[in-house]
């Protein structure tokens, strides 16, 4: 006798990207093609918190056109969160609650779209499914602008940020060059990247030759040396009349201390970064007297869907597709990963790998991607990075000349359980 279809939950986690909704689109569109095996796809409102709170958006009420429009919509359409699901020993009630929600809504598949932390959550859910005797197939769908998840050639979300930062670097380079004789001599662009310098490295793609901006790149992987930095700035200004610097927010001194970090920490224990741009600008002014400006890309870099890489959009969509297909083929406790087949032409495909160890390891910029002086990238880095920003995917614009994004009905599924109270 044919088994009745079971339902699925899709959830978004952590800092969002300009293409995370393309993965959501891939999941939902693919699940609809297999309606004989997957019933309703619920989207958890605000990540794993949406599951625990039983706040589930019923996507069957969304039209095909709306789901398709997710592919070009930035941010997290269903809401994301940085809530940390602790170990079962620490908070057994949370795991009991998850299973209760899964049972109440006949959930057989759980797709979690996020970074390292969501990989850990997905692995835990796959484990408790077995331990608590309720079958759930948990698949992690990778996403992070930081490009720091191991086991995959690249992370959906990174290619578009790389394209944005490289473009911004090239454009501001032209701006500063045109005014340098009588105005700003040094420009500093602060980009995201706590422990890994992938985004800062991507700014070098702006160069058509080594004389062009960015003239100096500061990576978290290389200890900041003030004397060396100031000397380099002076040398570049003397040679070109101006200097463009790209600095990762996670730049540290020789003792591993962030140049700029707040005192407050998030759920994961990470201190909020930001402010290395203005700090560096003050240092340059104090030690050189040169007129200096800075900009902090902040959320602009990860929200810029208008600057999305076509390669990145295609990969974000395909990891969603592959997650559903893998689950239907019996895969559990795994992450969809991107495998690079060749650099030129750039070819890739998706596979799945086990989740063990993924959450605890962080892929930093390899040493052979950083130049000997510690302030530029190598040819190896350029070969890796270049294909990830190729192509444009502008999407549809409305009559006002602005991007047209998905507008969800957001109809919630009926709640069947008591209100959940978090363990304090």
Nearest to 107 by CA among 9, 190, 245: 9
Tell me the CA end-to-end span of the chain in Å, nearest whole number.
46
Q: Using the structure block, give the residue that is written with the tokens 């979690």.
A: 112
- pLDDT tier for residue 288 given thresholds of 50, 70 and 90: very high
Q: How far apart are CA 369 and CA 390, in angstroms?
A: 20
Q: Using the structure block, give the residue that is written with the tokens 């500093």.
A: 188
- pLDDT tier for residue 422 given thresholds of 50, 70 and 90: confident
Nearest to 99 by CA among 80, 78, 127, 118: 127
Q: pTM of the entire structure? A: 0.95
- pLDDT tier for residue 132 given thresholds of 50, 70 and 90: confident
- pLDDT tier for residue 267 given thresholds of 50, 70 and 90: low
- pLDDT tier for residue 273 given thresholds of 50, 70 and 90: low
Q: Does 158-305 match 6-156+307-361 at the fold level?
A: yes
Residue 1, pLDDT score: 39
> Domain 158-305, CATH 3.40.50.460 — does that match?
yes
Instruction: Give domain limits for the chain.
Output: 6-156+307-361, 158-305
Which one is catalytic: 58, 146, 148, 312? 146
**Would you call 131 a catalytic residue per the annotation?**
no
pLDDT tens digit string along 139-187? 999 999 999 999 999 999 999 999 999 999 999 999 999 999 999 999 9
pLDDT tens digit string along 46-59? 999 999 999 999 99
Architecture of domain 6-156+307-361: 3-Layer(aba) Sandwich (3.40)
Q: What is the DSSP letter of 411?
A: P
Radius of gyration of the chain from its Cα atoms, rounded to whole angstroms = 23
Mean pLDDT of the chain: 94
- The H or E element that residue 122 is part of is helix 116-131
């Amino acid at each position: 006798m044919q088994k009745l279809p079971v339902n699925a939950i899709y959830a978004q986690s952590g800092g969002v990207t300009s293409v995370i909704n393309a993965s959501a689109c891939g999941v939902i569109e693919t699940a609809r093609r297999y309606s004989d095996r997957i019933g309703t796809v619920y989207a958890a409102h605000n990540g794993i918190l949406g599951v625990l709170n039983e706040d589930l958006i019923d996507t069957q009420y969304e039209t095909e056109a709306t789901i398709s429009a997710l592919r070009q919509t930035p941010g997290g359409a269903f809401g994301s969160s940085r809530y940390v699901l602790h170990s079962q020993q620490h908070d057994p009630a949370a795991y009991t609650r998850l299973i209760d929600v899964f049972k109440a809504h006949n959930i057989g598949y759980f797709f979690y779209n996020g970074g390292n932390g969501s990989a850990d959550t997905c692995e835990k859910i796959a484990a408790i499914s077995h331990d608590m005797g309720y079958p759930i197939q948990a698949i992690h769908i990778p996403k992070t602008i930081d490009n720091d998840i191991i086991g995959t050639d690249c992370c959906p979300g990174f290619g578009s940020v790389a394209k944005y930062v490289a473009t911004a670097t090239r454009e501001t380079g032209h701006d500063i060059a045109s005014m340098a004789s009588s105005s700003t001599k040094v420009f500093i662009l602060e980009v995201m990247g706590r422990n890994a310098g992938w985004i800062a490295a991507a700014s070098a793609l702006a160069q058509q030759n080594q004389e062009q901006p960015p003239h100096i790149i500061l990576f978290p992987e290389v200890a900041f040396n003030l004397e060396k930095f100031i000397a380099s700035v002076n040398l570049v200004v003397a040679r070109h009349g101006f200097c463009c610097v790209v600095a990762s927010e996670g730049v540290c001194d020789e003792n591993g201390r962030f140049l700029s970090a707040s005192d407050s920490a998030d759920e994961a224990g990470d201190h909020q970064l930001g402010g290395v741009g203005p700090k560096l600008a003050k240092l340059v002014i104090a030690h050189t007297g040169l007129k200096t400006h800075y900009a902090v890309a902040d959320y602009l870099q990860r929200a810029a869907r208008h600057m999305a890489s076509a390669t990145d959009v295609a990969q974000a969509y395909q990891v969603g597709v592959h997650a559903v297909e893998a689950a239907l083929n019996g895969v559990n406790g795994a992450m969809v990963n991107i495998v690079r087949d060749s650099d030129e032409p750039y070819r890739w495909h998706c596979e799945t790998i086990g989740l063990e160890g993924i959450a605890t390891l962080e892929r930093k910029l390899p040493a052979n991607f950083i130049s000997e002086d510690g302030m530029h990238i190598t040819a190896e880095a350029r070969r890796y990075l270049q294909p990830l920003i190729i192509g444009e995917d502008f999407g549809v614009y409305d009559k006002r000349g602005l991007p047209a994004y998905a507008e969800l009905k957001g109809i919630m599924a009926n709640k069947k359980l008591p209100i959940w109270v978090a363990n304090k």
